[in-house]
Amino acid sequence: MPKKSSKSSRSAVRKGSGKKVKRAASKQLVAPGKKSTYTAKDIQVLEGLTPVRKRPGMFVGSTGVDGLHHLIWEVVDNSIDEIMGGYATTIELILHKDDKITVIDDGRGIPVEKHPQTKKSTLETIMTTLHAGGKFGGSGYKVSGGLHGVGVSVVNALSDYMRVEVTRDGKAYTQEYSQGKAKGPVKIINQHAKGHGTKVTYHADKEIFDTVDDYNWKTIADRLKQRAYLTKGAKIIATNEKTGETQTFYFEGGLRAYVEEINQNKTPLFSPPFYVDKERNGINVEISLQYTEDYSEVLKAFANNIYNPEGGTHVVGFRTALTRTLNNYAKKAGLINKNGKNGETLTGDDVREGLTAIISVKLKNPQFEGQTKAKLGNAEVRAAVDSILTDYFSNYLEEHPSEARRIISKSMLAAKARLAARAARETVIRKGALDGMTLPGKLADCSKRNPKDCELYIVEGDSAGGSAKSGRNREFQAILPLRGKILNVERARLDKMLSNNEIKIMIIALGTGIGEQFDIEKIRYHRVIIMTDADVDGAHIKTLLLTFFFRHMPAVIEKGYLYIAQPPLYQIKSGKNVRWAYSDEEKDKIIAEMMEGKAKKKAKSEAQKSVSGEAAGSADEKSTEAPEEIEAGEAVGETGEGTGDKIKGISIQRYKGLGEMNPEQLWETTMNPENRILYQVKITDTAEADEVFSTLMGNEVEPRKKFIQENAKEVQNLDV
C-alpha cells in the first residue's frame, strides 16, 4: 500500500560529514605521552531487558507500525507453539478499546514454580529475562516458531503495562510488569481454578513506539487467518472491541484451502491442488501447489509457521525439485526432446509461470536470519524438501496425466515466450545503446548522475509533461511523459509487453534492464514518481504502471524507490490569499478558515467605522470587501481550463488535469520537495497484493465487480 512521506524526508539525501579520519602510525596504538583510557569502566553491562529498550529495532524490526504489530505476532506465536506441540486447540485475540492487546490460549500454562537457576518464579524468569524459555533444548517443545526464546520477554520490555494470568494444576496465578520489570511477586488469584492456559494482556510503550494506537485490524485478521491455515486443528478467534467485530478461523483443508483461497479469482489448470504432508529425517514437510492461467508466480514459505519473505533452503529445495521433476516427466512422456537440444529443456522460470505454492516445514532447531526470521538457513531442510517433492509430485504426474500435460504445455509456452522475450529484450538494449548510448528522446533528464540524488517523474501525457519539464528543478528531476495508456501486463507475457513502445522507453530510461537481465543496482533514479491526473483515466494509468512494477520490477518497490505524487484537487483563493487543498476535507477546512478570517476582518472594520464615523472608514471597508466580486474560475491561473465554484468572496478551482496548472503552480504544489506530498509504495503481503492485481487487472469480470462493490465504501472518490 502507498505510504505517505513526511515533508522532512521527502527529498533529503544524506551525505557524509566530509571529515577525514587521521590514522595512527603503524603499530602505534596510543599517541605518545598519553595513557589508554580503555578500562573496565568503559564496558557497559545492560542487565535484564535493558538491551531491548536500548535497541528495540534489533528485536522487532522497527519502532513504527510494523514493530507495533510485531509484538502481537510474538505473543500469538507462543500460543501457536502450544498447538503445534499438541497441548492446545484454541487461541483468542482481543484488541481492546484502550489499545491493549490480549492473547489467550488453552495450552499448558507457563510454569510458576521457583526456577532452580534464578531462584525466582519461572513465570517471572521467562517474562523478564532474554533467552529464557522452553525452546533451548529440554523437552518443552519438539518444534517452535521462536528460535531465540526472546519473544514474550521482548514484548514485556517494550510495554508500559503487562499482565500475565496462568491457569494450571488447579490454580490461577497472575503477575504484572512495566517496561520489562515485575511490579510485584506472582500471586494466586484462584485456589480452585478449572482448565489450563495462559492469558497475556499488554499495552505498547509510547516511549518506544512512534504510535501505540495505529493498529490495522485487517493486517491482524489476515495474519491470524494465515496461522489457522498453517496449523492443523487450530481454532483462532479474533475480536475487535472498537468495532464489535469477531472473526473465527478454522480450516480443515489446511494448505490446500490456503492455495484455493489465493487462486479464487484465477482460472486453475486443475483442481483440487496437489498436496503432500510427510516427514523425513525429523523434518516435517507440507506442500500444496496449483497452476493457473496467469503468468505470475505466488510462492509463500514458512518454517515452524513463521513466514519467511526472503525464502531460504526450503524454497531452494522446492524449486530445484519442481524443475527437475517436470523436465523428467516431459522427457519420459515424449513431450520435449530427451536430449534437451534446441532450448527444449524447461527452466525454473518456465515451470513457475502461473504457479501458486505454499511450503511449510517444521523442524526442531530452525536457523533464521535475525529475530524477524526473514530467511531459513538450515542446509538439511533443502534435501528433505527436494526428496519429498520429487517422490510425491512425480507420482502425482504419473497418476494424473491430463493435469501433467496441461502443466507441461503451459511451461513450454512460457519457454517459447522466454526465447521471444530474449530477442525483444536485446532489441530494447540495442535501441538504448544506439540512441546516443543512452536515453529516449522523450526523456528530459537531470544533470546529476548519482542515482541517490535523482528522481524520475513518469507523467501522463505531453501537456502535463510540458508543464513538468518547464517547472522542474533540472539539477535532480527528470521527466518522462507517456503517451496514452501502457499495456496491461497482467494479461501479457514478457515478449508481448516488450513490443509496447511506452514500456520500452520506460525500461531504457530506468536503466535496469528487464527479465533475466534485470539489475536493480543499475537503476538511474532512487525516486521513481508516478504523476497522473486526478480523474478516471489518470487512476487507470496509475494502476497499469503499478501492475508493471509489481509484476516485472518488484525490486523497485522492495527497495523503496517507487512513489505516487499527490497533486492538489483544489485551488482556493480569497483576495491575495491562495491556498491548495489535496482532499475535500482539506478544502472545507480551508474555506471555513477563510470565511472566519473574513468575518473577523469585517467585524474589526465595522468596529473602527462605528468609533470614527468617518467616510474614509467606509471607503476602506469597501476596499476590503473587493474580493467578493471575484468570478468563479478567475483563480485558475494562466491556462484557465479548470472547473470553478463560487462562494461569497472566495474562488474555488477544481483541478482534474495536471495540464490545467501552469509550470509554477505544478512545481509549487506537486514537485517542490518542500511542499509536495509523496506516497511511498510498499507491499506488506505479496500474496494479498497478487490477489488484488489479479482481481483488478485480470480477465475475470465478476471478481473485479465484487471487489469494487465490497470496497467502494472505503474510498471517497472511486475512480477505478
Give the span between the Cα atoms of 541 and 549, in whole angstroms: 12
Give the list of residues 6+ apart from residue 9 with CB closer than 8 angstroms, or none. Answer: none
Name the stretches of the chain with pLDDT < 70: 1-48, 131-150, 338-343, 370-372, 425-439, 441, 611-646, 685, 687, 699-701, 704-720
Q: What is the pairing mode between strands 678-681 and 2-4? A: antiparallel
Q: What is the pLDDT of residue 260?
A: 94
Q: What is the pLDDT of residues 1-12, one digit of tens each?
A: 454 444 433 333
Which one, of 705, 704, 698, 706, lies nearest residue 292 by Cα?
698
Residue given cell 521471444 in the structure block: 420
Q: What is the pLDDT of residue 31?
A: 41
Which one, of 549, 578, 577, 714, lies nearest residue 216 by Cα?
714
Q: What is the pairing mode between strands 171-178 and 159-168? A: antiparallel
User: Catalytic site residues?
Assistant: 460, 533, 535, 537
Give the list of residues 6+ apart from residue 44 with CB closer than 8 angstroms, or none. Answer: none
**Which domains can be identified in the chain, with CATH numbers?**
51-249 (3.30.565.10), 255-417 (3.30.230.10), 435-567+680-714 (3.40.50.670)
pTM for the whole structure: 0.66
Q: Bridge-partner residues for 278, per DSSP?
A: 285
Give the span between the Cα atoms of 273 and 389, in whole angstroms: 14
Q: DSSP per residue over 347-382, as a string?
A: PHHHHTTTEEEEEEEE-SS--BSTTTT-SB--HHHH
Angle between helices 379-399 and 313-332 (to 10 degrees): 30
Q: What is the pLDDT of residue 166?
A: 95
What is the Rg, in whole angstroms, of the alpha carbon atoms belonging to the chain? Answer: 31
- Whether residue 535 is annotated as binding a ligand: the answer is yes
CA distances for 658 relative to 201, 462, 532, 568, angstroms: 50, 10, 7, 9
- Whether residue 462 is annotated as binding a ligand: the answer is no
- Whether residue 645 is annotated as binding a ligand: the answer is no
Q: What is the pLDDT of residue 6?
A: 41
Q: What is the pLDDT of residue 59?
A: 80
Q: Which three cell numbers stand for residue 510?
A: 530506468
Q: What is the pLDDT of residue 114?
A: 87
